[in-house]
A and B are shown apart, each in its own frame.
Chain A
């Protein structure tokens, strides 16, 4: 990781912003521990859901006395059960992430830590999974202590994946037993990545894709005759970096990103492109909150 890589440690100001936010998945999930999430099943909880006629065995405390007085019929309030949300942070730790100024991997770790804070503060359980050649994951973590553990784990990560990102994603999906929210933080530098999303969503996960690209990747300021060496595959492409070449690159990148976004949306997920080094407060406060990811 380059020296200028952002640290997964969040500063106090960012934490204050993040603590006010809650993850807002599109669908509801049932958790193991009562938390602040609405469970898929109706039940006794704090969140009102509907009315139904009273039947034997119902808790008398849930009869709506005002309705009974007006209609003469006992009506029972039903409530959405509230449970924790399993959040899996899939952090791309392939070699391609160790690139850019500010470093993409550092930004990815910071984003993962931030999602961890938001999830933990919301009472959700968080698990970190590194998509790399060496399997590395945390258990589901909760609360403030969980965020500290997550941060430490993120800090220990080093980009080392030489294999394709799609492969790692498939492998990770096999071990994601609890359906929940899967947040993939990656640069997306794998042409077959979009096809791998199905492996995650087929198990009932909602997939959020956060693509992190460096300013250079978005607008490469290079010129001359170059041998472009792939960081993961060591494949070489000889180019003359001039206007037409850069235009073609930008077109290819836009098409590739669009394919990832379309695949994410197709599987009921979300997609966001984040430039590495963008302040967290701006990313969460504007991009994610505006798109309804958090609220």
Chain B
């Protein structure tokens, strides 16, 4: 509650005093001669005064007049109150549809409550309001563009679907900014539990960002890791379970080999702690699953399935001075256990004794040197161990061809800007996978170890922003994991997966619920963007089907503790508050004043 013109309240004192002064005036009564006075009751309801002075007597008339004055003065002071609805504004509703919104600490779940809240905001729209709805799932989606049509907006809300993937709220905010454009006064209402990665810089413009958080509990257990390894004791699975909550929790951990339970343990886990269990698996296990008995409020991290092939999990060493794209891209893959270093540790050098700890070493703009890892990938500078001889830099190349083989499946350089490339020449046993006018830009060698070389720095162009980048990383990891031949790949929910295909050709995609949809190849590849629910996806049919085991691996989503504010890079943190607005109450106040005056007139007439 506030006043736009608080000094107008001071009018109450002189005007109210004047009204009371009128009632302090004594009444001068008219003499009236009557035959007998005993019949007349002594009733004095003074409604007029014309002489000084008398003690103030209670009278409903002056009470009502002061009340009417109070309403008038409040109206003049522009009394305002916070109101839930949004009027005359452009509003973008962002509904967080990430995995953590599936937490059932509120009924039916956080996502359901957020959608209901969005529906109530749509229902509270007033004429002239415009609203849009954005689903912030694995990738932001505009469910309904700016519209004044409530039915259309409700339809858009009905189309919202929660995913088991993390969401990029920053991207959703940027999309919302793009929608409101240059609209003067606009607001973006984020309906979320706040369980998302830090938001990068967002240009707010004149828009106001309102954050309405949902969720009450932080108690959750989740499978943090599941991997297999060939050990002297045979094939074994490792399960890591973390307690993300604030209280001690107990759960059962059951491991399945191709659907058959092979182990079940009960575990007590302290808050913030992770416990690990190693379980022996039957030889030839194709799929290994782990499930939690009591996993807390969030269900999608209570199970995980990976290929039984030990190489299904990939230990990756990224040698780089810093590359967010590579780090993020590699971490998104469920199979990856990533370590970062600015140079190769001595223990991993080929010249050092013993076995290496990594399945894959990625050299990011660092010279490739001989390492123990069975596979290397390098970008930019070649190095002595590189499969290509690398020369100086050449200007913007024109990419002529890309070979469709395992590594470059679905990868295209069409529309990709590369500021420069290195002059590269395949060494013995190596072959070019992609050619530009200036020479090879991708070189591959399979023996003695698997090596791939890309003749450009990732940050020297916009390749990391293209859809081909995650596809290339997926292909590299497939190669490193050795699972591509099995047709069984573990992926993170929301991960974009690409497969080569002829333009116009369609394949069936069967999701974990058994629902089948179709995807058509474009620009020589199928791109699957909606693999965002935990479970097994089958692409194609029969024995040729490629299967993806989608797991929710984002720890930020498993940590479901609701947050009340989030930071935006380069800006003020956004604190939680309900989507309200100040409503000017002068109209109802004037109506009240008129009502009181009417009542006062009625009382006066009754007494007159």
Q: Which residues of A contact B (CB under 8 A)?
A: 96-97, 99-100, 104, 187, 189-191, 217, 222-233, 235-240, 242-245, 248-249, 252-253, 256
Contacts and interface: CB of A to CB of B under 8 A. Distances in A.
A99 B39 CA distance: 15
Contacts of A236: 37
B29 to A, nearest CB: 5
Contacts, number: 102
Contact of A231 (B30, B33, B39, B43): B33
B505 to A, nearest CB: 94
Interface string B584-608: 0000000000000000000000111
A16 B203 CA distance: 113
A231 B33 CA distance: 6
12 contacts: A217-B35, A222-B32, A224-B48, A224-B608, A225-B46, A228-B32, A229-B32, A231-B36, A240-B43, A244-B606, A249-B39, A249-B40
A46 to B, nearest CB: 47
Nearest to B39: A252
Nearest 8 pairs between A and B by C-beta? A96-B35, A230-B37, A189-B36, A248-B41, A240-B45, A226-B32, A245-B43, A252-B39
Contact of B34 (A191, A231, A252): A231
B572 interface: no
Interface string B407-436: 000000000000000000000000000000
B44 A225 contact: yes
Given A233-B37, A256-B39, A226 B46 contact: no
A233 B38 CA distance: 10
B43 A228 contact: no
Contacts of B44: 225, 238-240
Nearest to B43: A245
Contacts of A222: 32
A229 B31 contact: yes
Contacts of B34: 99, 228-231
Contacts of B38: 191, 230, 235, 252
Interface in B26-85: 27, 29-48
B29 A223 contact: no
A229 B37 contact: yes
A244 B30 CA distance: 19
Contacts of B43: 239-240, 242, 244-245, 248
Contacts of A231: 33-36
Task: Name the prevailing secondary structure of the A interface residues.
Answer: mixed
B26 to A, nearest CB: 11
A226 B42 CA distance: 11
B46 A242 contact: no
Contacts of A240: 43-47, 607
A276 B41 CA distance: 24
Contacts of A99: 33-35
Given A224-B30, A230-B34, A231-B33, A237 B40 contact: yes
Given A99-B35, A242-B608, A227 B41 contact: no
Contacts of B40: 228, 237, 239, 245, 249, 252
Among A224, A237, A242: residue with most chain B CB under 10 A:
A237
Given A230-B36, A231-B35, 9 more contacts: A224-B30, A226-B30, A228-B34, A239-B44, A242-B606, A244-B45, A244-B607, A249-B41, A252-B39
Nearest to B606: A243
B608 A96 contact: no
A238 B36 contact: no
Nearest to A100: B35
Nearest to B33: A229
Contacts of A242: 43, 45, 606-608
Contacts of A248: 41, 43
Nearest to B31: A227
B124 to A, nearest CB: 47
A233 B36 CA distance: 8
A238 B33 contact: no
Nearest to B49: A225
A238 B32 CA distance: 10
A27 to B, nearest CB: 32
B19 to A, nearest CB: 19
B27 A225 contact: yes
Nearest to A233: B37
A224 B604 CA distance: 12
A191 B47 CA distance: 31
A187 B29 contact: no
A229 B27 CA distance: 17
A225 B48 contact: yes
A222 B41 CA distance: 14
B45 A237 contact: no
Interface string B371-383: 0000000000000
Contacts of B606: 242-244
Contacts of A225: 27, 29-30, 44, 46-48
A99 B35 CA distance: 7
Contacts of A229: 31-34, 37
Contacts of B39: 249, 252-253, 256
A245 B41 contact: yes
Nearest to A223: B608
Among B27, B30, B37: residue with most chain A CB under 10 A:
B37
Nearest to A104: B35
